[in-house]
Structure 1
C-alpha cells in the first residue's frame, strides 16, 4: 500500500525583524512538496513549480565512498560511470542519444555518503527521463568490456584532479583529520585501487547497495506527483525491482565519531606556482543544531568579499587571490576549514593572519553588524540558489537521504535568521578554540614544512 503525504509548514517569523523570503504555497506555485513510499520501501518526493517548462528528475542512492572497504575505494564512483554504459534494454549510445534528441541534460555525482543520477528535460519529456534513469538504476548490465574501457577514463579523471592542487588540497585536509578511514579516503579512489577493481566486485557492490529501500526518487518542476509515482512504480515493476514486500526505507545515518587530534601538519610537495593550504579543525555533524550558527560564522569569516579573511588577506594586503571558509557536515562528524592559494613565500604571512583571525573570533565572537550581514548573505544566496529545478531537486533528495524529512525553505531561512551573536560566540569558542591542523600542497621543502608546523602551535 502506498503512503503519501503532503508536506507543508507554517511561515516562520524572522528573528531579526525583517521578512523572510520563502516558498509560495501550493495554491500559489512553488512549495507543493509531496512524498510517497511504495511497498518495497522506495521513496518518491516531488515539488511542483507551475509556470516553468522544465523538470529535473533524479534518483539518489544512499551509498558513498564511506561505504567502501580499503580494497573497494573508488567503487561507488566507478559504478556511477558504469550505470551509463548500458542496460538490458539500452546501449550506452541509446541512453545518451535519447536525452540529446530532446535537448535534455543528464549527469551524476558521487559523494562520501550518497550518489545521485539526474536528468533535466522539458516537462513533456519527463516520461522519457523517468524511463531512462530508472532503467539505468535497476537494470545496468555492467559488462566486463565496459568496466575495462571506463577504467582508463577514471584514471584520467584522477590525473585531472591531481593536476588541480586547489581541489586536491581538500582531499589532503580530509585525510589529515580523518586518517585512513572511509571518510578520509578520496571519493575517486587511487590509481592502485581503481586498477585492482574487478567487474565482479563492482557488480556485487551494485546489487548490495542499489535496492529500493536505499533509493530516493525526486522530481522538481512542472510535475504531477501522482503521474511521477505511477511512472516510477511501473518502471521499477517492469525491472522486477519492487519485490521486497513491506521493506521500510533505510534510515538516515546517525552516530558520533571523534576525529584525529588537532595540530597535525601534512605537506605534499608539488612543483606548483602557488602554495595551496587548508587550515582547520573538526566541525559539526549535519545533525548538530549548532550547524546554523556555524554556517553564519563561516560566512562572516570567509563567505564573501566583505568577510574578515577576504578583507584582511586580499583587500588590505594583497597576499592571495582566493581565500574562503568552508564547512562539511557528515552524519557523525564534520570539518571546518580556511582555504587560501598564494605564492609560496607569502604562505607564512597568510597563515599568520588566518591564525590570528580564528583566535580572535574564538575569544570574542563577531559583532551584531557582522551577524546581520552574514545572515542576510546566507538568506539571499539560499533563495537565489533555489531558482532552478535542478537545485530544488537536489534539496529534496539530500534532505530525504540525510535527514529523512523535508525542511522547507521557509523553515531553513527561519533557522538562519534565528541565529544570535551569543550562538555564534558559543560555537566559535567550541570549534575555533581548538588547535588547528594544516594541509599544504606546493613547492615546499622539508625545512619550510617544519616552519609551517611550528606556525600552527
Structure 2
C-alpha cells in the first residue's frame, strides 16, 4: 500500500512546445486546484509604472474577447468554486479551487483570462479606483505600512523596494496602452508554469492541457532583473497618531536557492513562527505581557532574502520590548538547541506545512 501511494503521489512535469511548463501534483482529495504562476512581479517594473503588475492582475478579470466580468466570475462561482489572483515581488499567480469534476471548466477559464484579456477602458477606470482604495487601506494599517517602509529602507532604490500595489500617483497615471505594452513585453510563455493539484489520471491531465494550453502561441521573453548587491544598516523613526507603537527589526537573509534556506525557515519558525510556543511569544508576550502581536518572518527571492521581526506595544514599552527581542536573538545564537528541542521543532514545522497544504 505504501508503494502504491508513493507512485500515485509522484509529481509530474511536462514542458509544452510553446515553453509553458505543466506541473501536476496528484492528491487524494475531492477538491482540486489549478493556476498560472507567471515569472513577473513588481520588481520587474520601472519606477514610473510602479503598480502595473498588480493592476494587470486585477484587470484580467474585467473582460476577455468572449466574456464580460460577470461571466468570468460566475463561471466558477456557479459550481461552488473560487477564482482569485495575487501579486508578489517576483510572480503573478492566477488560480482556481473547485471540486474535481470541473477541472476542464477551470483550465479553460483561467487560460481565457490570462491570454485573452482585452482590458476594456470603462472597466479599467472603475478598477483603478478599487486599487487606489486598496493602497489607502494598507496605509491605514500600521502593521502593513511599517513592513513596506522597512523593505523600502533595506532595498532603497532597487526595484525590490517598490510597493507591490504601487502608489496613488503611479496607479492614477496608468492606462490601457500601458497595460497592453507591459503585458506583451513581460508575459512570455517561457516564463509561465501551469500547476494542477488533484485526483486525476495522467491521461486526463494530458488531454485537457493539450486542448487549452498547447495552442497558445509561443512568446519568448528574457527576464533581466537588476541584482541586489547589499544595503547599509539604518534606523528610522516615523511619527503617526496610533494607539500602539509598531516596530520592525531585520536583516538580509538567504535567497531562494541557497542551500541553507530550509535551515533558516526552521530557525525562523522556532524564533517567531505562527505557533504560540515560539521563543518570541513565550519570552515576551507570555512572560511580560508587553505585546499582543510579535512574530518573525522570512521572505526569500531569487537573489536575496529578508528576515524581520515585527512587534506592536504600548508607546512607553517600546524600547524595553526591543531590548527583550535582542535578548532572545542573543540567546538563540549562544544557546544550542537540544536534540529533543530540534526534533520537536522539525515535527512542528512539518505539521504546520502539511496543514497549510490542505
TM range (shorter): over 0.9
CA distance in structure 2 between the partners assigned to 1:237 and 1:318 by the alignment: 58
1:292 corresponds to: 262
CA distance in structure 2 between the partners assigned to 1:225 and 1:112 by the alignment: 33
Would you say the 8 A contact 1:47–1:223 is kept in 2? no
Would you say the 8 A contact 1:39–1:242 is kept in 2? no
Would you say the 8 A contact 1:36–1:229 is kept in 2? no
1:48 corresponds to: 26
CA distance in structure 2 between the partners assigned to 1:332 and 1:227 by the alignment: 37
Distance 1:365 1:187, change over 3 A: farther
**Equivalent residue of 1:267, what SS?**
coil
CA shift, 1:327, in A, is 0.7
CA distance in structure 2 between the partners assigned to 1:339 and 1:140 by the alignment: 39
Would you say the 8 A contact 1:254–1:331 is kept in 2? no
**Equivalent residue of 1:347, what SS?**
helix
CA shift, 1:62, in A, is 0.5
**Equivalent residue of 2:255, what SS?**
coil
Task: Tell me if 1:335 matches 2:306.
Answer: yes
2:217 corresponds to: 242
CA distance in structure 1 between the partners assigned to 2:340 and 2:87 by the alignment: 38
Once the two structures are superposed, what CA deviation does each residue of 1:10-56 show, in whole Å capped at 9, x if it has no partner?
xxxxxxxxxxxxxx665467523111111111110111223x22211
Structure 2 residue corresponding to 1:322, chosen from 293, 312, 318? 293
Task: Tell me if 1:36 matches 2:6.
Answer: no
Higher-RCO chain (CA-CA 8 Å, sequence separation at least 6): 1
Would you say the 8 A contact 2:34–2:197 is kept in 1? yes
Structure 2 residue corresponding to 1:273, chosen from 218, 224, 243? 243
CA shift, 1:364, in A, is 4.2
Distance 1:362 1:255, change over 3 A: farther
1:283 corresponds to: 253
Would you say the 8 A contact 2:16–2:214 is kept in 1? no
Once the two structures are superposed, what CA deviation does each residue of 1:156-179 show, in whole Å capped at 9, x if it has no partner?
111111121112221111112111
Structure 2 residue corresponding to 1:135, chosen from 95, 112, 130? 112
Q: Where do 1:4-403 residues align within 5 Å?
A: 27=5, 31-50=9-28, 52-236=29-213, 241-243=216-218, 257-262=228-233, 264-303=234-273, 304-386=275-357, 388=358
Distance 1:301 1:27, change over 3 A: closer
CA shift, 1:369, in A, is 4.1
Distance 1:277 1:95, change over 3 A: same
CA distance in structure 2 between the partners assigned to 1:284 and 1:126 by the alignment: 37
Once the two structures are superposed, what CA deviation does each residue of 1:393-430 show, in whole Å capped at 9, x if it has no partner?
xxxxxxxxxxxxxxxxxxxxxxxxxxxxxxxxxxxxxx
List alignment gaps of at least 5 residues for structure 1.
Answer: 1-23, 389-457
List alignment gaps of at least 5 residues for structure 2.
Answer: none
**Equivalent residue of 1:47, what SS?**
strand
CA shift, 1:218, in A, is 0.6
CA shift, 1:347, in A, is 0.6
CA shift, 1:282, in A, is 1.1
CA shift, 1:370, in A, is 3.5
Would you say the 8 A contact 2:19–2:218 is kept in 1? no
Once the two structures are superposed, what CA deviation does each residue of 1:203-261 show, in whole Å capped at 9, x if it has no partner?
111112222111110110122333233323322456xx2345xx6x979x999633211
1:403 corresponds to: none
Would you say the 8 A contact 1:29–1:49 is kept in 2? no
Would you say the 8 A contact 1:137–1:210 is kept in 2? no
TM-score by length of structure 2 reads: 0.93
TM-score by length of structure 1 reads: 0.74
